[in-house]
């Protein structure tokens, strides 16, 4: 595995792979857009127990020398927030399709980075031998995978017989009203919500194509937002997936300000949770 990871790290440094120029790759060329969206949730959540601590809590007891793979690790926040809990003998591979994300992840982990391996990869083509991992994690990313059926086959292949796949995602009510308003005011095409691709409601059926057992756990939360700028930053972080005219941003800003002036805050449902799959 270490040879595969080392080769992939060469790819990150531009020796093997050419960067993609698709809108999705531009959106996630580094962690800046991700951090803007995370900042909104982090500042205004009513559930004060950290999402990342909760995610870690859901992992079934793993061996002291467990091998763990995270797909779409982003800036490494799951591990940064749980450094005090990770057994010293765990072997953790942090992977992402974005070289920029992996660079940000390395920086975010700071002096703890030596505890992790990094790998740039396509989640539907995993460069690992069969039965290699005790756990595979996809934290708020599996809905971005185009060929999820192929990815699930490969995830099952690299998991040990008693291993688990942990996939967090959204439900159909996740920020539904707010997204609809923003789409209308900004006059941009409405993309299929994440939950329509792989969500709490339909993800179970997708996982059961490869795994006999699937469990759903929910993280209760909502946002109560009393400032306009974090909301604007949230939607602006979606460029270039959306490209509204400049005056549309002013209209959206005015709408949010009126809502806050009238109600004191904007209440936003945050329907999220985890699907846990195993054989």
Render pLDDT for 177-201 as a digit per residue (tens, 0 to 9). 899 999 999 998 877 789 999 999 9
Contact at 8 Å (CB) between 123 and 71?
yes
pLDDT attached to residue 36: 86
CATH class of 2-171+192-221+271-278: alpha beta
Residue 8 has a pLDDT of 43
Distance CA 205, CA 197 (A): 12
Rounded CA-CA distance 135/69 in Å is 6
Say how far apart CA 95 and CA 69 lie, in whole Å. 7
List the chain domain ranges: 2-171+192-221+271-278
CA distances from 69 to 45, 78, 155, 175 (A): 28, 12, 10, 29
pLDDT tens-digit map of 247-265: 999 999 999 999 999 999 9
At which residue do the structure tokens 């992790």 appear? 116
- Give me the pLDDT at residue 225, please: 97
pLDDT for 11 equals: 38
Q: Can you tell me which residue has the tokens 């999705």?
A: 24
- Cα–Cα distances (Å) from 192 to 115, 118, 237, 269, 274, in that order, read 37, 31, 17, 18, 20
Residues of the chain with pLDDT under 50: 2-4, 6-20
Residue 241 CB neighbour total at 10 angstroms: 14
Is there a contact between 126 and 59 (Cβ–Cβ < 8 Å)?
no
């Amino acid at each position: 595995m270490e040879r595969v990871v080392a080769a992939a790290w060469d790819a990150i440094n531009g020796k093997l792979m050419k960067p993609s120029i698709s809108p999705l790759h531009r959106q996630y060329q580094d962690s800046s857009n991700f951090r803007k969206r995370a900042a909104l949730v982090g500042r205004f959540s009513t559930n004060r127990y950290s999402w990342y601590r909760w995610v870690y809590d859901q992992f079934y007891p793993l061996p002291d020398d467990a091998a763990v793979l995270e797909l779409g690790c982003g800036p490494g926040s799951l591990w940064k927030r749980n450094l005090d809990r990770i057994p010293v003998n765990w072997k953790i591979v942090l992977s992402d399709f974005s070289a920029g994300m992996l660079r940000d992840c390395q920086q975010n982990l700071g002096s703890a980075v030596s505890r992790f391996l990094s790998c740039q990869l396509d989640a539907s083509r995993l460069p690992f031998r069969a039965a290699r991992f005790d756990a595979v994690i996809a934290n708020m990313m599996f809905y971005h995978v185009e060929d999820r059926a192929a990815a699930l086959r490969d995830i099952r292949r690299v998991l040990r017989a008693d291993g688990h796949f942990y996939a967090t995602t959204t439900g159909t009510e996740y920020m539904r009203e707010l997204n609809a308003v923003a789409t209308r005011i900004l006059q941009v095409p409405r993309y299929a919500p994440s939950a329509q691709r792989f969500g709490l409601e339909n993800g179970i059926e997708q996982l059961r194509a490869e795994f006999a057992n699937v469990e759903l756990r929910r993280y209760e939360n909502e946002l109560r937002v009393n400032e306009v700028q974090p909301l604007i930053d949230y939607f602006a972080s979606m460029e270039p997936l959306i490209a509204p005219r400049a005056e549309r941003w002013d209209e959206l800003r005015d709408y949010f300000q009126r809502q806050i002036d009238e109600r004191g805050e904007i209440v936003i449902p945050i329907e999220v949770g985890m699907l846990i799959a195993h054989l």
